[in-house]
Amino acid sequence: MKHLLSTAGLAREDAITILDTAAQMATTQSREIKKLPTLRGRTVVNLFFEDSTRTRISFETAAKRLSADVINFSAKGSSVSKGESLKDTALTLQAMGADAVVCRHQASGAPHLLAHAGWLDSAVVNAGDGTHQHPTQALLDAYTMRRHLAGPPGSGPDDAAALGADLAGRRVAIVGDVLHSRVARSNVHLLHTLGAEVTLVAPPTLLPVGVESWPCEVSYHLDESLREGAPDAIMMLRVQRERMSGAGAGAFFPNPLEYTRKYGLDGRRLALLPEHAIVMHPGPMNRGLEISAEAADSPRAVIVEQVANGVAVRMAVLYLLLSGRDAPGAPDPSEGSVLA
Burial class (CB in 10 A: 0-12, 13-18, 19+), 92: middle
Identify the pLDDT of residue 9: 84
Spell out the domain ranges in the chain.
12-133+306-322, 136-303
Q: Parallel, antiparallel, or unpaired for β 100-105 and 69-74?
A: unpaired
Q: Tell me the percentage of the chain whose pLDDT exceeds 70.
A: 86
Q: Given phi > 0 = left and psi -120 to 50 = alpha, else beta, which region is 327?
A: beta
Please write the tens of the pLDDT for every residue from 282-312. 999 999 999 999 999 999 999 999 999 999 9
End-to-end C-alpha distance for the chain, whole angstroms: 6
Q: What is the mean pLDDT of residues 1-20?
A: 93
Identify the pLDDT of residue 152: 54
Please write the tens of the pLDDT for every residue from 131-173. 999 999 999 999 999 999 976 544 555 554 557 778 999 999 9
Identify the pLDDT of residue 250: 60
Residue 130, pLDDT above cutoff 60: yes
Identify the pLDDT of residue 240: 84
**pLDDT, greater one: 247 or 40:** 40
76-80, 195-199, 254-258: range with lowest mean pLDDT: 76-80
Angle between helical axes of 12-28 and 135-149 (0-180°, round to 10): 70
CA 188, CA 211: separation in Å to the nearest integer? 11
Query: Hey, what amino acid is at 177?
Result: D
Q: Given phi > 0 = left and psi -120 to 50 = alpha, else beta, which region is 9?
A: left
**pLDDT, greater one: 78 or 14:** 14
pLDDT band at 252, cuts 50/70/90? Answer: confident
Query: Please, what CATH class does the domain formed by 12-133+306-322 belong to?
Result: alpha beta
Topology of the domain comprising 136-303: Rossmann fold (3.40.50)
Q: Parallel, antiparallel, or unpaired for β 278-280 and 171-175?
A: unpaired
∠ CA 304-309-315, nearest 5°, is 145
Identify the pLDDT of residue 248: 57
* Phi and psi, residue 298, nearest 5°: -75, 160
CA 40, CA 18: separation in Å to the nearest integer? 21
Q: Tell me the percentage of the chain whose pLDDT exceeds 90.
A: 76
CA 50, CA 127: separation in Å to the nearest integer? 10
Average pLDDT, the chain: 88
CA 80, CA 77: separation in Å to the nearest integer? 8
Check if 12-133+306-322 and 136-303 are the same fold. yes
pLDDT band at 328, cuts 50/70/90? Answer: very low
Identify the pLDDT of residue 324: 54
Identify the pLDDT of residue 334: 36
**pLDDT, greater one: 31 or 126:** 126
pLDDT band at 336, cuts 50/70/90? Answer: very low
Handedness of CA 27, 54, 68, 34 (dihedral sign): negative
Q: What is the mean pLDDT of residues 42-50?
A: 95
Beta bridge partners of 287: 291
Identify the pLDDT of residue 75: 72
- Sheet containing 123-129: give its strands across: 69-74, 43-48, 100-105, 123-129
Q: Which of 231, 178, 241 is nearest to 204 (CA)?
A: 178
